[in-house]
Amino acid sequence: MNIIIYEGDKAKLEAILTGFIEESSARLAMIVDNGGMILTRIGDFNGIDIQPLAALTAGSYASTQALAKVIGENEFTGVTHQGKRNSIYISMVANFGLLVVVFDANTTIGMVRLSARDTAKKLGPVIAGIISRSR
Amino acid sequence: MAQINIAEKEITVKIVYYGPGMSGKTTNLLYVHQKISKNTITDMVSIATEGDRTLYFDFLPIETDIIPGFKAKFQLYTVPGQVQYDATRNLVLNGADGVVFVADSQWSRQKDNVESFENLKENLAKQGFTINDIPYVLEYNKRDIEDTARVEYMDYLLNREEFKVPTFESIATEGKGVFDVLNAICRMVVAKILKDVKR
């Protein structure tokens, strides 16, 4: 199956992510598929190599979900990696991809998580549309 | 699962180097990384490497102009070859558009090659695919070692599916054959994507 992204999809995804950045004050947000490919991205990527960021977050999330099953959980709904200056929050979107957020001291994990939950709901139908057209 | 981004004029493809432990998967990527111009490549990521063994995966993104009008991004991954890392191998294989199976040419490793190839088929099956659904090539590595199996024998062991696939002899430590393999798999994957899209 090939995922095909048109101008309209890009505009919708970017509009939702822009709203998320404004609401949460996160540094950047991107949508990555389960295999580590970037669908779209918004925010301040200065000094960040985005392809390894996508590949590693997809790997990290996948291994975290496998870890959940080891201890008898179906899934961990979100994953946080906390750093001194920058942190990462990853959550699943539409059973297909990941919302990857990098944030710093301008906001809090609580705020990011809250906004991410609403954002995932908005992203769901758009991503479902992309998947339904893919072949 | 390739991504065709019409808006950005980009095609992103995932290629996984599979094979038994110590067959030279990471060495292939290291050579590509070393040789490709710094303008078209970012750093190679190797995570959780214990000695000279990959514990999770290596990741190397490269860009080419193989498709007119589009930027083609090839994301090269290796899996950990050791038998015990099947769970992580499965995670890395997820969404692969093409596979390079790196076999070890030493006589003593032929059983490991066959087991790893069977493991590849099992892991593809878990994702709902057969080996014939996905473009792949066979790379017979370490041809410089004295104790090598003949190519015909390795073909007999590994290239016995319904559709025969291209095979390559290589010495990845010297870079011999590495780009022949990469070119072949990239072309096969792109051809399949274009065929799928036109259908």
What is the percent of chain B with per-residue pLDDT over 70, rounded to a whole number? 93
pLDDT band, residue A38 (cuts 50/70/90): very high
Tell which of A2, A49, A133 to mutate to test the B interface (max B CBs under 10 Å).
Answer: A2
B63 pLDDT higher than 90: no
Would you state the structure tokens that stand for residue B179, as one six-digit string? 């780009």
Q: Where does B98-177 have alpha helices with state H? A: 110-126, 151-158
φ/ψ of A71, rounded to 5, equals: -100, 15
Chain B residue with Cα closest to A5: B5
Lowest-confidence pick of A12-16, A116-120, B160-164: B160-164
Domain boundaries, chain B: 3-198
A83 touches chain B (CB under 8 A): no
Whether chain B has a CB inside 8 Å of the CB on A68: the answer is: no
Which residue of B2, B59, B88 is in closest CB contact with A55? B59
Q: Is residue A20's pLDDT more than 90? A: yes
- Does B43 touch chain A if contact means CB atoms closer than 8 Å? yes
- Residue in A closest to B196 by C-alpha: A135
Q: What is the C-alpha R_g of chain A?
A: 14
A65 has a pLDDT exceeding 90: no
B174 touches A: beta carbon within 8 Å: no
Instruction: Compute CA B140 distance to the chain's CA centroid, rounded to the nearest angstrom.
Output: 12
Distance of residue A52 Cα from the nearest chain B Cα, in angstroms: 7
Does residue B39 register a pLDDT over 70? no
A48 touching B, CB under 8 A? no
**Paired residues of B35 in beta bridges:** none
Q: So what's the pLDDT on residue A135?
A: 59
Cβ of A35 and B94 within 8 Å? Answer: yes
Q: What is the overall mean pLDDT for chain B?
A: 90
DSSP state of B171: B
Do A123 and A15 touch, CB atoms closer than 8 A? no
- Flag if A5 and B59 touch (Cβ within 8 Å): no
Rg (CA), chain B: 16
Q: Note the pLDDT tens digit of each residue in A69-93.
A: 889 998 888 899 999 999 999 999 9
Residue B43 has pLDDT above 80, yes or no: no
pLDDT band at B51 (very low <50, low <70, confident <90, very high): low
| The pLDDT value given to residue B37 | 65
Cross-chain Cβ contact B12/A59 below 8 Å: no
B68 CB near a chain A CB, below 8 Å?
Answer: no
Instruction: Search chain A and give the residue with CA nearest B74.
Output: A37
Give the rounded percent of residues in chain A with a pLDDT score beyond 70: 99
Local structure of B60: helix, strand or coil: strand
Q: What is the pLDDT of residue A134?
A: 78
Lowest mean pLDDT among A8-12, A19-23, A57-61, B123-127: A57-61
Q: How confident is the model at residue A95 (pLDDT cuts 50, 70, 90)?
A: confident
Which chain A residues contact residue B134 at CB under 8 A?
none
| Average pLDDT of the residues of chain A | 92
Give the span between the Cα atoms of A29 and A65, in whole angstroms.
21
Q: Where are the domains of chain A?
A: 7-134
> What is A7-134's CATH topology?
Beta-Lactamase (3.30.450)
Instruction: Render pLDDT for B145-174 as a digit per residue (tens, 0 to 9).
Output: 989 999 999 999 999 988 899 999 999 999
Mean pLDDT of A98-116: 96
Interface test with A, best of B8, B12, B129 (most A CBs within 10 A): B12
**What is the mean predicted confidence (pLDDT) over B92-118?**
96
Report the pLDDT value the prediction gives residue A99, as an integer from 0 to 100: 96
Q: What is the pLDDT of residue B41?
A: 58
* CATH number for the domain whose boundaries are B3-198: 3.40.50.300
Q: What secondary structure, in 3-state letters, does chain A show?
A: CCEEECHHHHHHHHHHHHHHHHHHCCCEEEEEECCCCEEEEEECCCCCCHHHHHHHHHHHHHHHHHHHHHCCCCCCCEEEECCCCCEEEEEEECCCEEEEEEECCCCCHHHHHHHHHHHHHHHHHHHHHHHHHCC
